[in-house]
């Protein structure tokens, strides 16, 4: 019951989220949750009830950010909930545009990406309904011999930039707050697709990565690195990345489906937390092109990060959400953003 759909890899925003996986194009499976135990007659999984078709758009090629969705599909949780979930890769303009247009019901995005379209008088009809990872696990990595142990020490070194306003604003804030001179950070426009090579061959001195993928990749390669996380530098940068988004019309008109999707997806991520090795096997089955050792390492790391200190997986703390958007607005990167704009907790529990 699985077919393959080929999508195009995204560019800078995707690399920011996935830690520049560099795995090439990986087909996304259209899954309806074929696994799981047999269900009694009359249940959604028995075939007697028509399944509600749902389209879920990834932000990038399959990786460990998405494992809970693949687990929920493989183990039949969506089918039990009466859903047939098709997992697709987004086009170059991203899952956000696909979901906003109604071409996908739900998808993957990032709070910082959403800032540009939840502000103003005509926001995109998209809302975050769950945090895939509870805290921001991104930061700056460099080779240890560069001596970059804090943001201030980025001055006098090169940094690979996506040339995104919020990205560069965060770097400037961290460097200056740490007593450094941001003007002395040499910005190198670059979409790094292989952090290990870029760092070990001195192509660039420092890179923004997400630890779960690129950090674990550098560890496996044996690189001797320094790393500092944005959330440790300033709590305002502990924003939500990535998140699950839904089309506002779908939320309004089919809240029961969204709740069913969330309940099944939560089960998938809870399984990832309880059994990272088993979760890794399911992701590798869906995306065999991925490197097994990296997937297992990443899955093991994320098992402690998906929920972290939250009461349940997927929770979004509005105070943290609003704090980041207040900073974004204060810096002039977006129009003033209303409290709670772009998120809802109505599907939690």
The confidence score (pLDDT) of residue 27 equals 35
Q: Which helix (H) or strand (E) holds 71?
A: helix 67-74
The answer to whether residue 336 sits within a structural domain is no
- For the stretch 250-303, pLDDT in tens is 999 999 999 999 999 999 999 999 999 999 999 999 999 999 999 999 999 999
Q: Is 17 or 61 the better-scoring residue by pLDDT?
A: 61
- In this structure, the answer to whether residues 53 and 100 fall within a common structural domain is yes
Average pLDDT score over residue span 164-173? 98
| Alpha helix (H) residue ranges in 144-214 | 165-177, 195-200
- For the stretch 102-147, pLDDT in tens is 999 999 999 999 999 999 888 999 999 999 999 999 999 999 999 9
The confidence score (pLDDT) of residue 93 equals 75
- In this structure, the answer to whether residues 228 and 179 fall within a common structural domain is yes
The confidence score (pLDDT) of residue 179 equals 98
- In this structure, the answer to whether residues 263 and 216 fall within a common structural domain is no
Using DSSP bridges, classify how beta strands 206-210 and 52-58 pair: parallel, antiparallel or unpaired.
unpaired
Average pLDDT score over residue span 191-210? 97
- Please tell me the total count of domains within the chain: 2
- In this structure, the answer to whether residues 16 and 126 fall within a common structural domain is yes
Q: DSSP E strands: which ranges in 90-205?
A: 106-109, 126-131, 138-143, 158-161, 186-189
Question: Of the residues 237, 271, 295, which one is the last residue of a structural domain?
Answer: 237
The confidence score (pLDDT) of residue 90 equals 83
- In this structure, the answer to whether residues 101 and 247 fall within a common structural domain is yes
**pTM, entire model:** 0.88
Name the percent of the chain lying above pLDDT 90: 82
Average pLDDT score over residue span 216-230? 99
- In this structure, the answer to whether residues 173 and 203 fall within a common structural domain is yes
- In this structure, the answer to whether residues 246 and 127 fall within a common structural domain is yes
The confidence score (pLDDT) of residue 9 equals 29
The answer to whether residue 147 sits within a structural domain is yes
- In this structure, the answer to whether residues 271 and 259 fall within a common structural domain is yes
Domain range for 292 is 3-135+240-330
- In this structure, the answer to whether residues 131 and 253 fall within a common structural domain is yes
pLDDT tier at 49, thresholds 50, 70, 90 = confident
- In this structure, the answer to whether residues 157 and 255 fall within a common structural domain is no
Domain of residue 320, CATH code:
3.40.190.10
pLDDT tier at 91, thresholds 50, 70, 90 = confident
Q: Beginning with the edge strand found earlier in the chain, give each strand of the sheet holding 83-89 in spatial order.
A: 3-5, 28-30, 83-89, 52-58, 106-109, 243-247, 126-131
Average pLDDT score over residue span 86-111? 94
Residue 267 · residue 35 · CB < 8 Å = no
- In this structure, the answer to whether residues 33 and 118 fall within a common structural domain is yes
Of the given ranges (4-13, 45-54, 138-147), which has the lowest mean pLDDT? 4-13
List phi, psi (to 5°) of 85: -100, 120
- For the stretch 10-43, pLDDT in tens is 333 433 333 333 333 333 334 444 433 333 333 4
The confidence score (pLDDT) of residue 121 equals 84
The 3-state DSSP class for residue 120 equals coil
The confidence score (pLDDT) of residue 48 equals 52
The confidence score (pLDDT) of residue 204 equals 98
- In this structure, the answer to whether residues 206 and 253 fall within a common structural domain is no
């Amino acid at each position: 019951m699985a077919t393959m759909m080929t999508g195009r890899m995204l560019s800078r925003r995707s690399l920011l989220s996935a830690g520049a996986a560099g795995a090439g194009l990986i087909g996304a499976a259209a899954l309806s949750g074929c696994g799981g135990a047999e269900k009694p007659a009359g249940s959604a999984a028995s075939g007697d009830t028509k399944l509600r078709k749902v389209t879920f758009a990834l932000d990038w090629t399959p990786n460990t950010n998405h494992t809970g969705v693949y687990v929920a599909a493989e183990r039949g949780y969506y089918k039990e909930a009466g859903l047939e979930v098709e997992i697709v890769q987004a086009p170059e303009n991203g899952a956000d545009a696909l979901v906003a247009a109604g071409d996908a019901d739900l998808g993957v995005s990032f709070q910082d990406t959403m800032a540009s379209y939840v502000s103003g008088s005509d926001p995109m009809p998209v809302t975050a309904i769950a945090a895939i990872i509870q805290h921001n696990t991104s930061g700056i990595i460099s080779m240890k011999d560069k001596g970059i142990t804090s943001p201030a020490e980025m001055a006098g070194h090169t940094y690979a930039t996506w040339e995104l306003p919020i990205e560069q604003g965060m770097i400037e804030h961290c460097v200056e707050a740490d007593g450094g001179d941001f003007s002395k950070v040499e910005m190198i426009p670059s979409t790094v697709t292989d952090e290990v090579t870029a760092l070990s061959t001195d192509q660039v001195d420092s890179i923004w990565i997400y630890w779960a993928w690129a950090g674990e990749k550098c560890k496996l390669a044996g690189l001797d690195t320094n790393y500092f996380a944005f959330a440790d530098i300033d709590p305002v940068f502990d924003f939500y990345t990535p998140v699950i988004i839904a089309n506002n019309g779908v939320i309004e008109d089919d809240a029961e489906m969204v709740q069913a999707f969330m309940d099944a997806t939560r089960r998938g991520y809870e399984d990832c937390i309880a059994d990272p090795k088993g979760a890794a096997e399911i992701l590798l089955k869906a995306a065999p092109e991925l490197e097994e050792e990296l997937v297992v390492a990443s899955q093991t790391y994320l098992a402690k990060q998906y929920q972290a200190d939250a009461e349940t997986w997927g929770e979004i703390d509005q105070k943290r959400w609003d704090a980041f958007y207040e900073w974004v607005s204060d810096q002039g990167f977006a129009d003033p953003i209303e409290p709670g704009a772009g998120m809802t907790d109505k599907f939690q529990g």
